[in-house]
Structure 1
Amino acid sequence: MPKPLEKSLEDEFEKKNEPLSMRGPKSVVDRFKDLAKSERYAQWEFLEILMDRFEETGGFHPKK
């Protein structure tokens, strides 16, 4: 018997979204949240932007 529609949609959501929890100084967390909000990004979107830029620029040790 197939799953009810609601359950299968819930399963798909869970497969595509993973929880993330990090601890840090309140000032850093607040700054991150404020920047994401002021630029109208979800926190996960803003984190992705930061990671993409980090990789594009070669990280802490730029490629020569």
Structure 2
Amino acid sequence: SMVLALAVCYAFGTVWFMIVYAKNVGAVGLSAVLGWCVIPFIIPDLAKIALAFILSNRISKAVTL
């Protein structure tokens, strides 16, 4: 569910960026926007998701004991 939520955030953010950029500078392609706004953040975001998953499992086990 965390990966799906991240994909939704990326989708809305990409569309928003394309609209704002087109109004201020001019049209830009999807591949350029993905290169600027999504691809650089995929690995750090997946690492944060993995860390959140591990910590939530550990905390859940500690709390239920």
What TM-score comes out, normalization by structure 1 length? Answer: 0.30
Whose Rg is larger?
A: 1
User: Larger helix proportion, structure 1 or 2?
Assistant: 2
What TM-score comes out, normalization by structure 2 length? Answer: 0.30
Q: Which has the higher contact order (CA 8 A, sep 6+)?
A: 2
